[in-house]
Amino acid sequence: MPVYEYTGLNEAGRQIKGLRDADSARALRGLLKREGVYITSIQEGASSSNKDLLSQEVDLGKIRGRVGTEDIAIMTRQLATLVGSGVPLVEGLTALQDQVDHPTLKRVVGRVKQRVNEGTSLGDALEEHPKIFSHIYVNMVRAGESSGALDVVLVRLASFTEGQSRLRQKVSGAMMYPAIMVLIGVTILAILMTVVVPKVTQMFEQSGAILPWTTRALIKSADLAQSYWWLMVLAIVVFAFLFRWWIRIESGQAVWHRFLLRAPVFGSVIRMLAMARFSRTLGTLLRSGVPIVAALNIVRNVLNNVVLARIIDEAREAIQEGESIAAPLKRSGEFTPLVYHMVAIGERSGQLEEMLQNIAEAYEGQVETRIEGLTSLLEPVLIVLMGGIVAFIVFSILMPILRLNTMIQA
């Protein structure tokens, strides 16, 4: 079946372009006319044997702009409203394409609409764009389609996406101020050590006076920074490269992820974030009708921690053998007592989804409180640290000046 490249106008008078396969140009005109598209030009393109390659090329061209989580959440809620109002899915996708502002997402919605109109399910059409729609998103849509409650699932999916986006923004926003302070402090220190301090201390060396140990240490540090700054930068780059390589191999990744869970101060926050993500994702999938085994397969991939992922694998195998979810979580020692106790209660009472949502809300609240506390603690610590470094530099410069002044007056 040939593929045609067409240009036309929709009912709103907007120009649209696309690729469609049809038996003939006349058949395509009739098909698009029923969809409310009036063709102004049409040209035969690739044959059906090259259709998959052509589709891949089109998709790659469409995914050049980054689509944020907020854009996905807004789009999902709009689609849920349209489907819940009784609008047919293809018409809903057509209206959604007009409403979406993000250019990349607009093109992807157009491609999804085209695939759905060709008879593909919405979940399968979304799966063709893995860089935009995650496994969670696709599987929840499939569950909604199979259960006949697509609008309900889309509302849950929009709420889930918005919640994850808010939590991510709170965490990154709370850490932004300390990160900026560190960056500014390191920049100022680098300028002082490579530009200011060498010029000031040069007169001390020419005077021949006996310098305090602090001044001598400052001069040595400034000489090293001025002479070997390139070596320091190279060492940092090499270390960063080797570290990235190490945490990507299986053995290094397991060690690093285990360290993150046990790291002082931040380890507890990372663990609570993982517990919240596990509970929120699993609860949302189960509530949307995704089978427990498939849901666990998805959850293990969103935790971003191989140590916890292995425990999820054990839980999945235990379920297939007739065991409960809570037992392997408890045996692992990595999941908190709150998680496996409430999961056990939820399994016995038949309210596992509600229990998981309660766990997620509890840990998300704790994460926000803990991050606010760490941020308020980090600010004075960074100020004292940077102040101490600056005070050491000023003291090391002023002491010889005062001694020289005393010698001159004597």
Q: Please check whether residue 295 is in contact with residue 282, taking contact to mean a CB–CB distance below 8 angstroms.
A: yes
Q: For residues 144 and 289, give the distance between their C-alpha atoms in angstroms, rounded to a whole number.
A: 7
- pLDDT(250) > 80: yes
Region 351-359 average pLDDT: 89
- pLDDT(72) > 60: yes
Region 57-73 average pLDDT: 59
Which of 40, 46, 33 is closest to 3 using CA atoms?
46
Q: For residues 3 and 101, give the distance between their C-alpha atoms in angstroms, rounded to a whole number.
A: 28
Tokens encoding 219: 């001069």
Banded model confidence at residue 238, pLDDT cuts 50, 70, 90: very high
pLDDT computed for residue 234 by the predictor: 92
CB atoms within 10 A of CB 64: 9
Identify residue 328 by its one-letter amino acid code. P
Please report the domains of the chain, with CATH numbers, ordered by start residue: 1-62 (3.10.20), 178-410 (1.20.81.30)
Tokens encoding 99: 């409403």
Q: Please check whether residue 14 is in contact with residue 54, taking contact to mean a CB–CB distance below 8 angstroms.
A: no
Q: Please check whether residue 10 is in contact with residue 16, taking contact to mean a CB–CB distance below 8 angstroms.
A: yes
Q: Helices in 192-291 by DSSP H: which ranges?
A: 197-207, 213-227, 229-246, 250-262, 267-287
Q: 15 or 318, which is more confident?
A: 318
- pLDDT(271) > 80: yes
Residue 39 pairs in a beta bridge with 8
pLDDT computed for residue 245 by the predictor: 92
Q: For residues 359 and 339, give the distance between their C-alpha atoms in angstroms, rounded to a whole number.
A: 7
CA distances from 180 to 115, 173, 269, 376, 386 (A): 46, 11, 21, 15, 13
Alpha carbon of residue 307 to chain centroid: 19
Per residue in 83-105, pLDDT (tens digit) is: 888 888 888 888 888 888 888 88
Per residue in 34-64, pLDDT (tens digit) is: 777 777 777 765 444 344 433 433 343 333 4
Region 393-399 average pLDDT: 78
Per residue in 290-346, pLDDT (tens digit) is: 888 888 888 887 788 888 988 988 888 888 888 888 888 888 888 989 898 998 898
- pLDDT(390) > 50: yes
Q: Rounded mean pLDDT of the chain?
A: 79
Using a 10 angstrom Cβ sphere, with 0-12 exposed, 13-18 middle and 19 or more buried, the burial of residue 319 is: middle
Per residue in 133-180, pLDDT (tens digit) is: 887 788 888 877 877 778 888 888 888 878 777 777 777 777 777 778
Q: Is 37 helix (H, G, I), strand (E, B) or coil?
A: coil
CA distances from 181 to 184, 236, 352, 379 (A): 5, 20, 44, 8
